[in-house]
Amino acid sequence: MENQFDLLNNTKGFGFDNFDPTLVQEESVILLTLVIDISPSVSSYATEMNKAFEGFLEEMQKSHVASKLMVKVIEFNENVKHVTGFTPITNMVPSNFHFRPTGNFTALFEAAKEGLTATVNYQELLEKTGINVKCLVFVMTDGEENTFTTKSSEIKEMLDTIMKSEKNIFNFETILLGVGNENYYEPAQKEMGFKHLATFNNSANEIRKMIGFISQSVSRSSANKPVNF
Amino acid sequence: MENIFSISKISNEHANHCEDSHFTLNYENYFIGCVLDGCSTGVDSHFASMLIGKLLKKELKFCIDLLDKIYTYDLPTDDFIKNFINQVLITTATQLRLVTHQLNLEENELLSTIVLAVYIKPFEKLFIKIIGDGGYLINQQDYLMIHPKNNMPEYLAYHLVGDHSISNFINNIEVTKFENVSEFSIFTDGLEQIKGPESSENIIDYLLKNKDFSQSKIMLQRKFNILTKNHHKCNDDVSIIRYF
C-alpha cells in the first residue's frame, strides 16, 4: 500500500534549486518571493539596499516566523536570473546577497511573470504534500518596462486565474515596491493587476523603510492578518 | 533510526476542542505512548482526556527511572512489566480521585478511554493495555480495534469509589504482550470514523502503514491535510501514535 495516493510521484521535479518539499517540517509555510530590479538606474540606492537586505535576512532568521519562512530571490535587468530557489530562510547566508547594478534595460514584466510562475508551482507542490501555504510576491523596481518580451496582460491573466481560486483569496498577496518617480512603475502595477503598490524615495531612510515593510508583511501574514500600509 | 509520529486531530463535528489527547515518552531503552479519548457525551471531555493524560504521564516519568535502574542489572520479566503498567495506572487513578475531590468534579467530567503502550526497545517487546476502547496495529499486520458493547466503554472514572474497586478494575483488564515488534501504532476509535472517497481500509493503511513524509516530523499532520484536500472528513476526534 506504499504511496497509494500517488503523492511522491507528484513531488518529483520540484526544481533543482527549491527545497525538497518532503523535508518541510512545518504544517504551514510562507513563501516569500522577492523580484529585484538591478538595472543601472538602481545605482543611486543599491548600496543602501544591499545593506538593508542583509539586515532583513539576519532579522528574519531570528524572528518567530523563521521556521515557516521560505524565500526565493530573483534579480532582473534585461535578463531574469533566479538567484535562489525557495529556501528556508534559516539556510540562507545573508552576506551572500549582493545586488550589483548591471545591464541596460528593465524586463519588469518577464521578471514578474517568472516570479509568479515559480511561486504558484512551488505552492501547488507543497499543498499536494500536505503543507498549507501563504504567498507574498514582492517586485521591487524604480523603472518602467522597456524590453517588452512579456506583455503585462499575460501577468494580469495569470493573476486573475490565481485569485479566482478560493484558497488564494486571503493567502496570495502581490505587492509592487516602487522607488522614485511613480509615473514609471504605477502604470505597470495596474496593468499587471498587482494588488498593492507601496512607494518610496531613494533616500537611505526610505530604502530601509521599504525593506522593513517586507518584514512587517511577513509578520502580518504569519498572524493571518492582511498586508496593509 | 527510530521514527515517532503523533497527532490529535479535531473532528469536523467539534468547533472548539479536540476531546482526544496523547503523549509520548522516549528513553534509551523504552518508548511509551498513550492515546486518550474523551467521551463525547461527557462534560468538558477534552479536559478529562488531558487531565488523565497529564497525571499518567507524570506517574510514568517518575516510575521509568526505577525501570531503567532495574534494566541495568537484568531484563525485566514480562510479569514485572505487566505489573508495572497496572501499578502505574492504579496510582494514576488514585491521583485522579484526589484531584476530583480538590476540583469538585463530577463523574461525567472524567470520562476518557486510555490506550497505553510500553515498548522495550532492545528486546522488541511491546505491552499494550486498553481501558475503554481504542486499538493498535503491530508490524503492519495485527490490527485490532476494540468496540465496546453498545458503544459504552467501561471508563476508569466509574471505578474511583474505593481502593479495592480501582485495583480490581485495572488488574482485571489484560495487558497484551507482543514479541518481535519492529513497528506499531496505537489510536483512538476515531480512526475508523474518517470518511471520504477512499475506503476505510485504504485510509487506515495510508495513515498507519504508508511511510511517505517520514523524513518530516509532521508526517501525520501532512497525511491528514492531504486526506482533507481529497475530500475526507474526520467524523470523530482521533489520536494516533506511530513508532517505527
- Tell me what pLDDT residue A169 has: 86
> What pTM was computed for the model?
0.85
Within 8 A of A7 by CB-CB distance, chain B residues are 212, 226
Half-sphere exposure of B235 (CA within 13 A, CB side): 6
The domain that holds A50 is classified in CATH as 3.40.50.410
Q: B130 has which bridge partners?
A: B115
The answer to the question of residue A228 being in a domain is: no
Domain carrying residue B121: 4-243
Give A66-99 pLDDT, tens digit per residue: 999 999 999 999 999 999 999 999 999 999 999 9
The answer to the question of residue A15 being in a domain is: no
Q: Output the 3-class SS for A75-100.
A: EECCCEEECCCCEEHHHCCHHHCCCC
In this predicted model, which residue has the larger pLDDT, B163 or B236?
A: B236
Q: What is the percent of chain A with per-residue pLDDT over 90, rounded to a whole number? A: 79
- Tell me what pLDDT residue B70 has: 67
Q: Is the pLDDT of residue B233 over 80?
A: yes
The answer to the question of residue A44 being in a domain is: yes
Nearest of B183, B172, B184, B156 to residue B55 by alpha carbon: B156
Smallest Cβ distance to A4: which of B206, B217, B224?
B206
Nearest of A51, A57, A15 to residue A32 by alpha carbon: A57
The answer to the question of residue A5 being in a domain is: no
Cβ-defined contact of B210 to A1 (cutoff 8 Å): yes
Cβ-defined contact of A130 to B223 (cutoff 8 Å): yes
Longest dimension (CA), chain B: 53
Burial bucket for residue B78 (CB in 10 Å: 0-12, 13-18, 19+): middle
Cβ neighbours around A136 below 10 Å, total: 23
Average pLDDT over residues B182-207: 95
Q: Name the domain count of chain A.
A: 1
- Tell me what pLDDT residue A9 has: 46
Q: Is the pLDDT of residue A114 over 50?
A: yes
Residue B233: phi and psi, rounded to 5, are -125, 145
The domain that holds B173 is classified in CATH as 3.60.40.10
**b/e per residue A151-181 (b: at least 16 CB within 10 A):** ebeebeebbeebeeeeebeebbbbbbbbbbe
Domain carrying residue A65: 28-222
Give A194-208 pLDDT, tens digit per residue: 999 999 998 989 999
Q: Is the pLDDT of residue A144 over 90?
A: no
Cβ-defined contact of B226 to A1 (cutoff 8 Å): no
Within B146-197, residue ranges assigned H as helices are 163-171
Contact B60, B81 (CB under 8 A): no
Location of C-alpha cell 498586508 = A227
The answer to the question of residue A71 being in a domain is: yes
Within 8 A of A127 by CB-CB distance, chain B residues are 229
Average pLDDT over residues A107-124: 96
Q: Nearest chain B Cα to A127, which residue? A: B226
Beta-sheet strands, E only, within chain A:
28-37, 69-76, 80-82, 87-88, 132-141, 172-179, 196-200
Q: Name the domain count of chain B.
A: 1
The answer to the question of residue A20 being in a domain is: no
- Tell me what pLDDT residue B231 has: 94
Smallest Cβ distance to A3: which of B198, B212, B215?
B212
